[in-house]
Amino acid sequence: MQTVFRIPSRLYAQLFELGNSTPSISGDKLIALYSILKMSRQGEIKYYSYKAKNNKDVSGYALLRAKTGVSLSTLKKYVPLLIELNLCYFDKNGDFVLKGNEKLKKEYGAKLVPILIGKNLIDTSYNVISVRIFSAEKAQKNKIKKKQTRSELIMQANNPKSLKDLKRIKRYLKDGKGIEEINEKIVLSLQGFSVLKDGTKDNKSKGCYWKSKLKQKGLVKTTRNFDKIEEISYVDYLNLKKYGYISNKYVYKKGNICLETVSSFNPINLIPSKKSEVEVIKPTSYKRKSYLSFDMIDFWINGGGR
Average pLDDT, the chain: 83
Q: Is 94 exposed, middle or buried (0-12, 13-18, 19+ CB in 10 A)?
A: middle
Taking the C-alpha atoms of residue 45 and residue 55, their distance in angstroms, rounded to an integer, is 24
Quick: pLDDT tens for 104-158: 999 999 999 999 999 999 999 999 999 999 988 888 888 878 777 777 677 776 6
Q: Is the pLDDT of residue 181 over 70?
A: no
Question: For residue 126, what pLDDT is reported?
Answer: 95
Q: Is the pLDDT of residue 287 over 50?
A: no
Higher pLDDT, 159 or 194: 194
Q: What is the pTM of this model?
A: 0.76
Cα radius of gyration (the chain): 26
Quick: pLDDT tens for 232-259: 999 999 999 888 888 888 999 999 999 9
SS3 56: coil
Q: Is the pLDDT of residue 23 over 90?
A: yes
**Backbone dihedral angles phi then psi of residue 190, each to the nearest 5 degrees:** -60, -40
